[in-house]
Amino acid sequence: MKIVKLYLNKIEQTSLTFIEGFGIENDKKASTSKGKDKQIILCDTDEFKVYKETSEGLCAKRFFPHIATKDLDYKTLKPGTKLQIGSAEIEILDLKKRCFPECVFVQNKTVCNIKFNCAFAKVTKSGSIEVK
Average pLDDT, rounded, for the chain: 88
Domain count, the chain: 1
Within-domain flag for 94: yes
The most confident of the ranges 35-39, 83-87, 101-105 is 83-87
Question: Can you give the pLDDT at residue 32?
Answer: 53
Each residue's pLDDT tens digit, 13-41: 999 999 998 899 999 887 555 456 779 99
CA dihedral sign, ordered 47, 48, 54, 58: positive
Within-domain flag for 43: yes
Alpha-carbon radius of gyration of the chain = 14
Within-domain flag for 30: yes
Which of 91, 97, 66, 88 is CA-nearest to residue 79? 91
Q: Which domain holds residue 72?
A: 2-127
Within-domain flag for 104: yes
Within-domain flag for 75: yes
Q: What is the C-alpha to C-alpha distance for residues 90 and 28, in angstroms, rounded to an integer? A: 19
Instruction: Output the domain CATH number for residue 90.
Output: 2.40.33.20
Within-domain flag for 132: no
Residue 120 has pLDDT above 70, yes or no: yes
Region class of 7: left (phi > 0), else alpha (psi between -120 and 50), else beta: beta
Q: What is the C-alpha to C-alpha distance for residues 12 and 81, in angstroms, rounded to an integer? A: 26
Question: Can you give the pLDDT at residue 51?
Answer: 74
Within-domain flag for 103: yes
The terminus-to-terminus CA distance of the chain in angstroms comes to 12
- What band does 12 get if pLDDT is binned at 50, 70 and 90? very high
Could you tell me what percent of the chain has a pLDDT over 90? 58
Within-domain flag for 41: yes
